[in-house]
Amino acid sequence: MTFYKYTTTSTAEIILRNKSLRWSSPLLFNDLEECQFTPFTQESSMKAFEMYNKILEQCASGCLLFNHTRFSENTRLLIGVVALCKQEGKSTSFLSNEFLMNHGEMHLNYINKGLINCFRILCVTTACDNNLMWAYYADQHYGCVFELESVFIGLPRQLKEDEVRYHENIEPLSNPLHMLLYGETPEIKELMIKDILFSKRTHWKHEEEYRFMFIESFGEITSELNLQTDKFEVTTKYQSEKLYTDVPILKESIKSIIFGARTSEDEIDKIVSAVSQNKFNCDFYQMKMRRGSLVKESLNIQVA
pLDDT of residue 91: 73
Can you give the pLDDT at residue 62?
86
Sequence-ordered list of residues with C-beta below 8 angstroms from that of 10, at least 6 positions apart, any chain:
none
Which of 220, 221, 217 minimizes the C-alpha distance to 240? 217
The parts of the chain modelled with pLDDT lower than 70 are 92-103, 170, 225, 227-230
pLDDT at 209: 97
Question: Residue 89: its pLDDT value, please?
Answer: 79
Task: Please report the pLDDT score of residue 271 as a whole number.
Answer: 97
pLDDT for residue 247:
97
Q: Residue-wise over 22-31: b if at least 16 C-beta within 10 A, else e?
A: bbbbbeeeee
Distance, CA of 294 to CA of 287 (rounded, Å): 6
Query: Which residues on neighbouring strands pair with residue 22, listed in sequence order?
Result: 246
Instruction: Sort strands 254-259 and 244-248 into parallel, antiparallel or unpaired.
Output: unpaired
Residue type, 268: I
pLDDT per residue as tens digits for the range 181-217: 998 898 988 998 999 999 999 999 999 999 999 999 8
- CA triple 206-207-213, angle to 5 deg: 145
